[in-house]
Amino acid sequence: MAHGREREENITGASSASLSVRWVQGFPKQTVHFINNNTICYSSGNFIIFINIETKKETVLQCMNGIVGVMATNTPYEVVAFSDRKLKPVIYIYSFPGLTRKTKLKGNVLLDYTLLSFSYCGTYLASYSSLPEFELALWNWESGVILCKKSQPNVDVSQMTFNPMNWHQLCLSSPSSVTVWIIERSNQEHYLKAKSVKLPMEDGSVFNEKDVIFPDSLPKDLIYGPVLPLTAIAGLVGEEAETFRDGFVYSFIIKDSNYKVEDFLQVEEPVGHLMFSPNYKMLLIQTDKGSVYIYTFGEEPILDKVLEACDGKFQAVDFIAPTHEYCMTLTYSGEICVWCLEDGVCISRIYLNTPTTVLACSPSSLSAAVGTVGGSVHFVDILDVESPETIHEAFLSEYSIQHLLYDQRGMFLLAGTLEGYIFVLNANPSSLFDVLGFVEVGRGILQISTVSLLETDIVEVMVLSPLPETGRSRLEIFALPKILPQVSASFVDERGRMKNEFIHKFLYEVEHPLSSAVLDFQSNRIYGFCSEVPYICSYLLPQKEHSGINILTPHQKVQNKQYGPGVTSLSLHGLWLITGAQCGTLCIRDIHTLETFVRCRSHSHQGHGIQSVRISMDGENILVNGRDDGTLVCLRWRRLGGHLASEIFYYNQQFFNFLSNTMEEENNYLRKSKSVDLKAESAHTINENKNLSIDTSQEDLVQVDNMKEIPWMQQKNQEAVKKEIKLFSVKRKEIKRGIKALAKTVLTMMEENETVDYIAKLEDQEFSLDMEELERRQNESEKEVAKIRNDVEMHNLAKRYLAELIKEECWNSMAVKGRALKGFHIPYVVENFPMKERTDEELKEVNRVLHQRKIETECFKLRKEIIEVQSAFTLGRKHPEEDDEEEEEDTALRNSNLPNYLLGSLSTDFGVKPSLLSSQLELHAREEKINQIILLKDIIYKVKTVFNNEFDAAYKQKEFEIARVKERNVRIQEIILDLELGESIWQPEFDDCEKPERTLVVENNEISVQKHIKPWQKAKIELLDSHKAEQWHLLQASDTRNRALMDMMGGVLEVRKEDILRMVIPQPAFMAKPDALWTEEERKQFKDYEKKVKDLNEERDKYRKSLDAELKKLQNSIQESTQNFDEQLKKLFERRVKAEMVVNQEELKINNLLFSLLLDEELNSRETFLNNYLARKEEEKNQTSEAIRKAREDLDVYKENYDNLLAEDKVLDRSFKKEFSELPSHQVDILYKLFKRRPRLQEEKVKFQLNLTIQILLKQGQVELENFQLLMEYSDAILINRNIIEDLNSVIRTQGQKKVASMMVSKDIHKGIFQIEWEHKKMEMEMEDLNQKAWDIQMLFFSRDRQKFLNEPNYETLIAIQIGIMEQTIAALDKNYKKNVENCKKILKKLGKFSSQKDVANYTLSCNLREELVAVSERKDICNAMGSKLTCEKIAEERYENLMQQQKLTNISKEQANQISILQAEVDRLRMKTFPALLPV
């Protein structure tokens, strides 16, 4: 395929190697264009793909600066223009089919171009940019200059096109408007002039929108001022229309002003774009998916699918081994495509109809594996690449398969999930892709790499996973033996998990995160791609085995020019490290030095770079898949050094020879077997696993739905459970019988325990036999309780936090809490004004305004006094202007004492003086309105404060009334009880709205659930109750006097007046006898008894009447006081209404002022807009004036040239006869007449005579001319004879044949030279290989174990003896371990009993300690109350005396120190006098 020169120049690497693009597969996301009648083109990622409609041949052009932006084509000139996506983008123009760059257009656009369009004739290109310029520019693309440009701020354009018949007209359309730009030209100057087109509505009518910026007349609002433009009206949302596109194409038959719609054709997918070919013989149909159809007009119309798009971007790609003639791709929807590597043509497709994730092709057979989101792996037979088919499905787990990898020899298939499970499958189709087991690794697997060399018997596997909590990466390495399929049963446990001791699993960690890592073929070094730092590091693995986690440090660090997370992989021979990153650059490095020997940019960071890289076994081809740009790039070597090519070529041949037998066997098996047989065997295996019998006691645990397929991991778990059940069924039955007998015995013992005494009775837990199980269940229940308690506490904490927020916002922050006041007998409810405390800023602002207004008032007074003084001297000389000023000042003075109807408020009724308010008729300035608003808010605050004070007084009055009613109700209750009336007492209470603080306190009676009491609290309560009961019993035993008084006199020492109603005079005992049997004495006693009874009844009546009168008096008093309060509440209610009215009046004034401020602001904004509009129009006027000036200058130049020509003509006319003075006069007259009739421009006449219009007949099918070329001018074309061209062609052919012949001779010579050099290099490589083999044989490592295996005749017997000794040792250790465990259990049981005893003792001591603490605290309070003051004074006096004494001692010590210093100086002076000084001579 052809490629651009610039692309080939940039795709370079080292001097010995470079890559080139073989083909590109991508599907159009933008509009498809015609480049000529037979070729279409579209952009995909970094490339522009050209497709020949007839041959389906593709050609690619690469944009080296990243992803392709917008593009356009010019069919007459066969050029394509496209922009890049970078800061300050550039427009490139390339020619086709040469793909050479013609020019590069650099403008002033900062971010991106959104539209490009060529004119249909001429060399003009229009471009439109997005934010921030929104600039329309007209280019001359041949000269690379901008002819003119125009900016349209905030105007998004969706389409742009030139008029096909007139390049001076350019149409731009958006979803809301259509604009036609006229391109005017004057000499070399170009200008853009816009003309808006009014589109009709759906019914055909024209909507005339009013111009609200420059209207002819706008309506006036007498109250709220002028009508504002649309910019001042917020919240308007236009209607949205949505068009649904199906797979139909409709034709519009237009005749004059009428049209008719007919169904034209139908395609399989919704249509997104239509376009005619330049010759109008074909119609291009582009679908939303990206497919392209070509409809050819004719007698037999043809609909051809030129491009069939895949269903989404490529998820994974891989080569089909071993020939590497084909490759496979996979999309998320399950579409698998097979592509030819030669030309990138799609050979076949297959749909799995399930979401898929990953693809891998087997190197040992013609099969491929596909991982799905549902956890299955589908195996595809690709023996026939034209008809692949699914032959097997392995349902591994319920987790999504994220990684699929074959080892280099194709023995095993590794399937990884995000949950950290790696399943190992047999890669051979003959084994039905048997699942051998799984390995559990870290979650979030990033990459799996393998090392499977030809000469080894194991496969090394390395898994990379992240550790986000520590910022590290984990590496896990394990080995799979080659004989694993034969011994897999011993390598895995019952549940399919591979044993770590058999696979030799080791853990490593690196201190920084890696995005990708591979293991080299010597298995002693790891190569990692750092995700957060620009380095590629290598790590040496330790030689010795280790346990636990080994921290690896970088052994080698190489600066990486690639940025962002990347992917790494190794070539087949393991000598090339291939890296791809988010920047879109692919690098191939030497494995030893990590130096890059080739670099290629196939994708860009705008498409998030490279997702995956695959290199073929022979190293000839490289597939690079983009992450988000939907582009697959196939690279091949353009130049590769001899040693680089020979190494991988030799290894590939060796590898192919090694796997040839295996591949032949497996491919033969695929040919013989049919997919139906494989599926039937697979289904049979699954059904056998499902139909295994299970035990009845474990039926609920392993029962599955036979109609639903279960994953392999779950099957293994069920099989393990069934096997354990079957293996231990007999023992389990015996244990069950023993447990039943033991349970029966325990129940009998528990029944006997219920009948014994309390002292001998055991607790229920003493009968639990399995203490460990009991403890485990208790621990589980405690954990569950702790979890529930934690959840409840967190839920309660969240609720409490929300309650605190609400309380802080609505209650604590209020200086005056909102509450209501209800009447006793009337349904009146009066609410106060909830108020927040004013902030310091608000108070500061209010004081500032008040101070300013006071200053203004004083200034006004001073001005008035000055005017009055001056008026005393100028009484008779007043001017009219001075009279007006005096009247204004008088008016301003009167405004301070305006009545309420002019103030617009009744705030004076609440004692608020509005004297500092400005008059409503004088508020014109913005500052005055703002100050007025502040003062009005202050008045509202004061009004609310006054009313709240009145409300508080009424609230206190109600509290007093309720207290007085309660006091009187006590006496009423006594009277009702004495009179035994049975009446109910009216007791007024505050409602919740009157005491809203009750809502914030939860009473115990509001809680419906039982309160949870902790054990220690319960024990404390019981202890206190028992203590109180003992004290009560002691008091009852010692209080004999009270009991005697209660028995004799009812608990009182004298008879009260209230007891008269309950007093009863006892009847004499003789009254039980008949009257006839009474004695005289008894009759006297009976008369005394009747008198006492009568007196008692009279006293009762008097007392009852007094009580009744007192009751009525109390009730009337209560009724009167509460009614008086209700009357006060009515007045307060009226006051509340009036206060609310005042507040509303002031708020109305505030709203009016705010509206006027907003109106002023909007008018200012509109004025600013108009000023800007005027400035812009003035600038346009200046530009127009400049253009007119230039045009006038050009006109003056033309006039000057014209005048010069006229002057020259006059000079010739005058000198004509003088030139022919020697001729006869009649001849001169004839010549003069001819001279007069001569054409003014002889040169143009000659050209016109030579430039003939001729008509040529063209044979049909031989010569074709494009329609657009007929519109162009051929000013420089000439018509020559065909024979001349044919003669020249014959000469050229003869010379060309001679040159070809000489070149063929030279070619044969060079071919022989190359053949000899190749044979020589081949011999040198064979010699190097033989030397290397000899060296390897000499340096072969032979361990002692291998020597022992060869030298020892009875090696197996020796190993068996060692194994027996180890088994005996293990048995002895196991026996000793069990004995130690039993001893520890006994000791633990004893310690448990001792611990329980200590807990009881500690609890008793804690109870005693609490009592002692209570007593100590009481004593401490008494001591503090009695002697704290004296003690404090005493301590203070002692401290004061100590301080004074210390100060005194300090002063004494300072004086003594001064005296000592003085004495010391005196001693020194005397010493100097006594001893003479010895001075040096």
List pLDDT tens digits, range 492-550: 888 889 988 888 889 999 988 999 999 988 878 899 999 888 889 999 988 888 888 88
Radius of gyration of the chain (CA): 55
Identify the band that residue 188 occupies on the pLDDT scale cut at 50, 70 and 90.
Answer: confident
pLDDT of residue 1189: 87
Alpha helices in 278-387 (DSSP H): none
Q: Is 771 helix (H, G, I), strand (E, B) or coil?
A: helix
Residue 107: count of CB within 10 angstroms of its CB: 19
Q: 121 φ, ψ to 5°?
A: -145, 150
Say if CB 533 and CB 482 are below 8 A apart: no
Say if CB 359 and CB 404 are below 8 A apart: yes
* Spatial CA neighbour of 83 closest among 121, 51, 43, 138: 43
pLDDT of residue 831: 92
Dump the DSSP string for 158-225. SEEEEETTEEEEEEEE-SS-EEEEEEEEETTEEEEEEEEEPPP-TTSPPP----SSS-S---EETTTE
Identify the band that residue 184 occupies on the pLDDT scale cut at 50, 70 and 90.
Answer: confident
Residue 701 to residues 695, 725, 735, 1027, 1340, Cα–Cα distance (Å): 10, 12, 20, 56, 56
Identify the band that residue 1432 occupies on the pLDDT scale cut at 50, 70 and 90.
Answer: low
Mean pLDDT lowest among 84-98, 584-598, 1208-1222: 1208-1222
Mean pLDDT of 864-891: 58
pLDDT of residue 331: 92
pLDDT of residue 238: 33
Q: Is the pLDDT of residue 1477 over 60?
A: no
Is the bond leading into 322 cis (omega within 30 degrees of zero)?
yes
Return mean pLDDT, the chain. Answer: 81
Q: What is the DSSP letter of 497?
A: B
The pLDDT tens digits of the residues spanning 143-154 come to: 889 999 888 877
Q: 1343 φ, ψ to 5°?
A: -75, 170
d(CA 946, CA 1140) in angstroms, rounded, equals 12
Mean pLDDT of 1008-1013: 74
Q: Are strands 220-221 and 389-395 parallel, antiparallel or unpaired?
A: unpaired
d(CA 128, CA 155) in angstroms, rounded, equals 10
Q: Which residue has the higher pLDDT, 1028 or 1423?
A: 1028
Give long-range contacts, CB 8 A cutoff, 24+ apart: 273-277. Answer: 273/31, 273/32, 274/249, 275/31, 275/32, 275/33, 275/34, 277/34, 277/37
User: Residue 145: which H helix or E strand, with range?
Assistant: strand 145-151
Say if CB 95 and CB 78 are below 8 A apart: yes
Residue 666: count of CB within 10 angstroms of its CB: 22
Give the distance, in angstroms, between the CA of residue 379 and the centroid of all CA atoms in the same chain: 37
Q: What is the DSSP letter of 811?
A: I
Burial class (CB within 10 angstroms; exposed 0-12, middle 13-18, buried 19+) of 1353: exposed
Q: Is 315 helix (H, G, I), strand (E, B) or coil?
A: strand
- pTM assigned to the model: 0.58
Mean pLDDT of 1312-1335: 87
**What residues does 401 pair with on adjacent strands?**
417
Half-sphere exposure of 1218 (CA within 13 A, CB side): 5
The pLDDT tens digits of the residues spanning 1243-1291 come to: 555 555 556 655 555 555 544 444 444 444 555 666 777 788 888 888 8
The pLDDT tens digits of the residues spanning 1366-1391 come to: 888 898 988 898 998 888 888 888 88
* Spatial CA neighbour of 1068 closest among 1081, 1052, 1050: 1081
* Spatial CA neighbour of 508 closest among 464, 466, 552, 471: 552
* Spatial CA neighbour of 419 closest among 449, 403, 448, 441: 441
Q: Is the pLDDT of residue 616 over 60?
A: yes
**What residues does 577 pair with on adjacent strands?**
570, 589
pLDDT of residue 893: 42
pLDDT of residue 232: 38
d(CA 65, CA 665) in angstroms, rounded, equals 49
- Per-residue exposure over 708-741, b if at least 16 CB sit within 10 Å of its own CB, e if not: eebbbbbbbbbbebbeebeeeeeeeeeeeeeeee
pLDDT of residue 175: 75
* Spatial CA neighbour of 316 closest among 267, 379, 358: 358
* Spatial CA neighbour of 1067 closest among 1085, 1048, 1094, 1049: 1085
Q: Is the pLDDT of residue 585 over 50?
A: yes
Sign (positive or negative) of CA dihedral 1038, 1044, 1050, 1055: negative
The pLDDT tens digits of the residues spanning 784-842 come to: 989 998 999 999 899 989 988 988 888 888 888 889 999 888 888 999 999 988 889 98
Q: Is the pLDDT of residue 116 over 70?
A: yes
| Tokens at 258, concatenated | 């009428």
* Spatial CA neighbour of 1128 closest among 924, 957, 937, 1268: 957
Q: Is the pLDDT of residue 697 over 50?
A: no
Identify the band that residue 708 occupies on the pLDDT scale cut at 50, 70 and 90.
Answer: low
Give long-range contacts, CB 8 A cutoff, 24+ apart: 654-659. Answer: 654/454, 655/408, 655/454, 655/572, 655/617, 656/322, 656/617, 658/409, 658/454, 659/322, 659/363, 659/364, 659/409, 659/410
* Spatial CA neighbour of 108 closest among 69, 151, 140: 151
Q: Is 275 helix (H, G, I), strand (E, B) or coil?
A: strand
pLDDT of residue 425: 94
Is the bond leading into 132 cis (omega within 30 degrees of zero)?
yes
d(CA 967, CA 1114) in angstroms, rounded, equals 10
pLDDT of residue 1277: 65
Mean pLDDT of 1018-1040: 78
Give the distance, in angstroms, between the CA of residue 3 and the centroid of all CA atoms in the same chain: 41
